[in-house]
Amino acid sequence: MVFLISTLEKYFSFLDKIQPDTLFYALILITWIISTWEHYLSYRQYQNYKRCQNVPAELTDVMTDDELNKARLYAMDKMRYNEIHSIFNQVETTILLLIGVLPWLWQTSGNILAKYNYFNYEILQSIVFVGIIMIYSTISNIPWSYYYHFVLEEKHGFNKQTVKFFIKDTIKKLLVTCILTLPIVSLLIKIIQIGGDYFFVYAWLFVTTMSLIIAFIYPNYIAPLFDRYDPLREGELLTSIETLAAKLKFPLAKIYVVEGSARSAHSNAYFYGFFKAKRIVLYDTLIKGYSISENKDDDKEKISEAESTLTHRKTNDVQQTNKKKAEKGCEPEEVLAVLCHEFGHWSLSHNLINLCISFLNLFFVFAIFAALFKRSALYEAYGFTATKPVLIGLLIIFQYVLLPYFEVFSFALTALSRRFEFQADNFAVKLHYADSLGRALKKLQVDNMAYPFSDYLYAKYHYSHPTLLERLKAIELAKTS
């Protein structure tokens, strides 16, 4: 391990020869180069959206020309929003860095503590620093989030939130983030401070352990704070899922349905859990005709609240929305096919492979951090001439120095993810769910108003899943092989 750090230190020794100002502008330039590349890809995708095309032959049984055009317009609206938001964030971040917001905020955090007679407490100062950033990020993002949900998603019929729901959700997210983040950051800084030469190993073990703990507690204790989770009701679907799970020896513990329709009309399905206690979660929007609430009084109360909050909606629009909701979703056999795809990920150990890759990568970046975080040039570049706070070192190295590496690593994971998706589809085909899976994928495409055509380069760089047309073609080939 000492040899690894020594090698990395020699590799990065060139940083000591660079003037702080030069290093600062070089790192900012790198962020803009990567951002420009992202905008170029988005431009290509937007041009793809602007081209009017006919419904592909594979989708003529589920999609009309009008639905294709609506999906195209929805995609264009989202792309415009994302581009404007991205450019704004990039400009805002650059301006804040240029005016020296990091050393100013660090000093302000120290001044706040000094008022209560806490001097030179780096961990407490780091907590105040992170807390201020999280509060600022939450507040500054509210207009963007509000526009996305109540203008863009509302326009295309996906938003189901009320303003009251949105405000409560935002507050809860901030509180949960603070409760989870601040203790972890504090302990991580302490480990780095007292860990000696091998601190990066202890830091890696700590973050790995905390990741696993959060992966356990989030779906069981945190997610229910935001959405309602009910056991899947007795019936054909429940019996079929349990039978399929038993056939595959999938260690199924429980099956939940989440009330995704309370916030959005989008649909999804996933499983979580460790070892012999796997749990399946289905969105109520995934199951055709399914309603998570059986209590009519609860339904009336929700309808009353929605009507009082969204008075601008016409009665005929609400009725039309309810009619469309009843038409959306998958039949039981198609839901089974979607779950069979998810079982394929489990059977082929895709999640375990991704977890191992993630932890190995984490070890590597902590080793790089160990080789870099004591170098004065990095701190001086961002205005820290008298102190070298651990938190600032983490921020500079992970967010700016390692940014090119993270871009390459993310692209590699995206390519691997697409390969895994093909394999999981093939798993479902081998269990004779090819036709059902194909129908389910097409229905989900239409229900989520996803545009079926994509720019090749944009898709390869961004899409963790193959495009629908690619998946349907692969399913057909697997059927005949």
Instruction: Say how far apart CA 79 and CA 455 lie, in whole Å.
Output: 13
432 annotated ligand binder = no
Strands 252-258, 229-231: pairing is antiparallel
Instruction: Say how far apart CA 95 and CA 273 lie, in whole Å.
Output: 43
Task: Tell me the CA distances in angstroms from 184 to 126, 127, 179, 408, one per residue in order.
Answer: 12, 10, 9, 27
State the catalytic residue, choosing from 284, 334, 342, 447. 342
Instruction: Say how far apart CA 337 and CA 455 lie, in whole Å.
Output: 28
Edge-to-edge order in the sheet of strand 269-272: 229-231, 252-258, 278-283, 269-272
Task: Tell me the CA distances in angstroms from 353 to 365, 417, 430, one per residue in order.
Answer: 18, 11, 22
Strands 269-272, 252-258: pairing is unpaired
266 annotated ligand binder = no
Would you call 342 a catalytic residue per the annotation?
A: yes
Residue 287 exposure: Cα atoms within 13 Å on the Cβ side: 23
Task: Tell me the CA distances in angstroms from 280 to 67, 171, 184, 343, 467, one per residue in order.
Answer: 31, 28, 29, 10, 25
Would you call 327 a catalytic residue per the annotation?
A: no
465 annotated ligand binder = no
State the catalytic residue, choosing from 58, 425, 447, 455. 425
Please give the full DSSP string across 126-179, using - where no structure is assigned. Answer: HHHHHHHHHHHHHHHHHHHHHHIIIIIIHHTT-B---HHHHHHHHHHHHHHHHH
Quick one: DSSP state of residue 266? -
Residue 71 exposure: Cα atoms within 13 Å on the Cβ side: 22
E runs forming strands in 221-329 = 229-231, 252-258, 269-272, 278-283
What angle do the packed helices 434-447 and 468-480 form, to 10 degrees? 170
Catalytic residue list? 342, 425
User: Which residues are known binding-site members for Zn(2+)?
Assistant: 341, 345, 421
